[in-house]
């Protein structure tokens, strides 16, 4: 049995011979056959194919022209020349194929094909891995899109809830302020019959504070005979630990049976302080009489202390009405009321400047 390379060459030579027998003749003239290559061109194609170690190209059978058909004499001449040229071409082709077989090697071709197959397999695997990664990325992106939509819906609900909470908070704050004011008012109302005495020596009231203050208050405040009788329900020191000897004494809380008694005592204490042009002094201690009020109201009233001090130094008459309203008595019977301590301070400064200007004008006129 001939080797594989010889079988391959014989098969290629046979295909070339079959193709040449079936194709057009090399001696046909261009006028009788359109587009048919010459014998020399066919030989050149075979030589080029053999030199490049590529399979020999089978020549396509040309079609006859519809405009001009060959005559019978031309066909006979062409058939004779075709048989002669075919034999010459077959011999040349066999020689070329033998030269190609002697130069070529099937093992190199097989290795090239195997290498190309491995590379294609690797490319296929890489494409498969890339597609798997792409599918994973797309699946994750879809999952993230769903999460994002869910978060957007949740954010929308949250914004609605926050807006509703803010509106509710505004309402609750206004309601809270109203309730605090009401609680403070009720607390002060429960203390409407109470007074606070500050500065009295610790232990001066003894074991029976009610009897002591029923006698002591009218005597100290120099109250008239018709209003000296007062009824006290409760009297005690502030509820905190007893101070040491060098510390300030605790304040005293007294609750009267009638509101009128409390008002008379506060008016008498203001009159005594006005006559003395200063607070009441007992055994070297300054003693003050205050209405018993809540801590919140006390802070509001303390804001008027600087204005009260200025009015006191310049000889103006004033009073601090409940809950926190400053009443100033001006010349000519005029009265001014202030609920805001800042406005009161501004008014006092302007009034003092005007008064000083008037005094300077009068002095200049006298001079």
Sequence-distant (6+) residues with CB within 8 A of 348 are 307, 310, 311, 316, 328
| Same domain flag for 174 and 214 | no
| Same domain flag for 264 and 203 | yes
Last residue of a domain, one of 258, 292, 326: 292
Number of folded domains in the chain? 4
What H or E segment, with its residue span, contains residue 236?
Answer: strand 232-237
Q: Are the beta carbons of 301 and 293 closer than 8 angstroms? A: yes
| Same domain flag for 183 and 237 | no
| Same domain flag for 64 and 150 | no
pLDDT of amino acid 355: 77
Q: Are the beta carbons of 278 and 316 closer than 8 angstroms? A: no
| Same domain flag for 109 and 98 | no
Q: Which domain holds residue 169?
A: 105-190
| Same domain flag for 324 and 341 | yes
| Same domain flag for 109 and 87 | no
Q: What is the DSSP string of 304-332?
A: THHHHHHHHHTT-EEEEETTTEEEEE-GG
Last residue of a domain, one of 264, 292, 320: 292
Q: Give Cα 211 distance to the centre of its chain.
A: 69
| Same domain flag for 113 and 180 | yes
Q: Are the beta carbons of 344 and 309 closer than 8 angstroms? A: no
CATH number of the structural domain spanning residue 339? 3.30.250.20
| Same domain flag for 258 and 334 | no
| Same domain flag for 283 and 334 | no
Last residue of a domain, one of 240, 269, 292: 292
| pLDDT < 50: residue spans in the chain | 1-6, 8, 12, 19-80, 82-83, 86-87, 89-90, 93, 97, 100-104
pLDDT of amino acid 105: 54
| Same domain flag for 278 and 309 | no
Q: At what angle do helices 72-103 and 39-51 cross, to 10 degrees?
A: 10
| Same domain flag for 172 and 113 | yes
């Amino acid at each position: 049995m001939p080797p594989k390379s010889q079988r391959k060459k014989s098969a290629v030579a046979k295909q070339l011979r079959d193709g040449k027998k079936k194709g057009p003749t090399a001696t046909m003239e261009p006028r009788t056959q359109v587009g048919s290559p010459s014998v020399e061109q066919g030989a050149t194609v075979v030589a080029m194919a053999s030199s490049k170690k590529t399979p020999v190209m089978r020549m396509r059978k040309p079609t006859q022209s519809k405009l001009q058909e060959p005559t019978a004499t031309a066909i006979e001449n062409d058939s004779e020349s075709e048989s002669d040229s075919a034999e010459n071409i077959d011999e040349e082709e066999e020689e070329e194929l033998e030269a190609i077989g002697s130069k070529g090697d099937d093992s190199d071709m097989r290795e090239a094909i195997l290498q190309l197959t491995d590379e294609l397999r690797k490319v296929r695997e890489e494409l498969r891995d890339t597609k798997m990664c792409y599918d994973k990325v797309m699946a994750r992106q879809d999952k993230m899109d769903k999460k994002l939509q869910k978060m957007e819906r949740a954010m929308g609900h949250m914004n609605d809830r926050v807006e509703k909470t803010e509106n509710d908070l505004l309402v609750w704050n206004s309601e809270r302020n109203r309730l605090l004011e009401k609680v403070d008012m009720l607390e002060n109302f429960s203390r409407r019959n109470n007074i606070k005495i500050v500065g009295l020596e610790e232990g001066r009231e003894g074991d029976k504070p009610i009897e002591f203050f029923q006698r002591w208050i009218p005597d100290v405040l120099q109250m008239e005979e018709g209003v000296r009788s007062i009824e006290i329900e409760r009297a005690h020191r502030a509820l905190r630990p007893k101070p040491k000897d060098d510390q300030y004494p605790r304040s005293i809380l007294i609750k009267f049976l009638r509101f009128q008694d409390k008002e008379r005592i506060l008016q008498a204490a203001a009159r005594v302080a006005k006559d003395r042009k200063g607070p009441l002094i007992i055994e070297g201690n300054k003693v003050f009489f205050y209405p018993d009020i809540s801590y919140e109201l006390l802070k509001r009233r303390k804001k008027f202390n600087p204005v009260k001090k200025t009015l006191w130094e310049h000889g103006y008459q004033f009073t601090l009405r409940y809950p926190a309203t400053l009443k100033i008595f001006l010349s000519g019977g005029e009265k001014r009321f202030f609920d805001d301590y800042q406005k009161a301070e501004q008014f006092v400064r302007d009034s003092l400047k005007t008064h000083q200007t008037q005094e300077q004008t009068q002095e200049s006129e006298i001079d």
